[in-house]
Structure 1
C-alpha cells in the first residue's frame, strides 16, 4: 500500500503537466522550477514505486537511463516516440497483440509480457527533416554550378 504524501502528490502533479518521457533529474528540475522542494532521492524512489504500481510508463533510453511518463491509458498499450522532441503517442491495437501472441506461440513461448516502443519522427519533425534535405540538395546543386544537362 502506497502512502499519499505531499511529495508523491507533487510528483504526480508535475507528471500530469508533461506529455513526453522525462528522466528523474528532469522531473526534479521541473519541480524545483515550479517551486517544489522535494529531494532527488525522493523523486527516484517515488517514480520507481509509481512505475511498479503501473501508474507510470517507463522507457529505457539508449544510454540506459530510465525515463518516465504518466499513463494516459491504464490498460496495456505501446508507444510511438519522436526521436527529436520526445512527443509520445499511446497506441492500443488488438491486431498487434494478436500478432505478438502468434509469434510467441510459433516459438513455443507462453505467459507473455511485453512492451513495445517505436521510435521515429513526429509529423512536425519529419517535415523539418524533409525541408532540410531539400535545402541541402539545392545548396549542393548551386555549389556545383547548377543542374547539368
Structure 2
C-alpha cells in the first residue's frame, strides 16, 4: 500500500514539474520552478524537482543550458537537434537551426580535433526586455 501511495505521489509530482516547465515559456532555474510549483499548491521538494528535470532532459522533453549561476531548463519536444537564442533577462528562448555542420567539422579538423558533439546557445536581450 505504501509503495502505491509513493508511486502515485511521484506521478503527480512528475506531472507538476513537466506542466510547470511547459508553462514557464522559457528557460528557468530549478529553484524558481520549485517555488512556482509549491506556490500553486503542489508540495514538492527541491531534490524531487531536480530529479524530474534531469529525467525530462534525458528523455529529450527538456533542454538544459549552463549559465554562470547554475543550470537552466526549458520544455521542448524530443527529436531534431536544435540550438537557442536566449534572453539573459527574462529567459525567453527561440529555437534556431544548427550551424553548418561542415564548417564545424572543418574548423575542428584544422586544429586537430574530431567533433563528438556540439552545443550552441546565443545569449542577448529580447525585444521585450530593456537594455541594462
TM-score band by shorter chain is: 0.7 to 0.9
**Structure 2, unpaired ranges of 5+:** 1-6
SS in 2 for 1:36: coil
SS in 1 for 2:24: coil
Q: Counterpart of 2:100?
A: 96
User: Contact 1:25 / 1:40 at 8 angstroms: preserved in 2?
Assistant: yes
For 1:54 and 1:105, the matched residues in 2 are separated by: 29
For 1:99 and 1:110, the matched residues in 2 are separated by: 13
- Give a deviation string over 1:72-111, Cα, whole Å, max 9, x none: 4631111111122221111113x43332122122223334
SS in 2 for 1:114: coil
2:123 paired residue among 115, 119, 126: 119
Superposition pairs for residues 51-130 of structure 1, below 5 Å? 51-63=57-69, 65-72=70-77, 74-93=79-98, 95-125=99-129, 128-129=130-131
For 1:124 and 1:13, the matched residues in 2 are separated by: 24
Matched positions, count: 124
TM-score (norm 1): 0.72
Q: Which has the higher contact order (CA 8 A, sep 6+)?
A: 2
- Give a deviation string over 1:1-32, Cα, whole Å, max 9, x none: xx982211111111111111111111111111
**Structure 1, unpaired ranges of 5+:** 133-149
SS in 2 for 1:81: strand
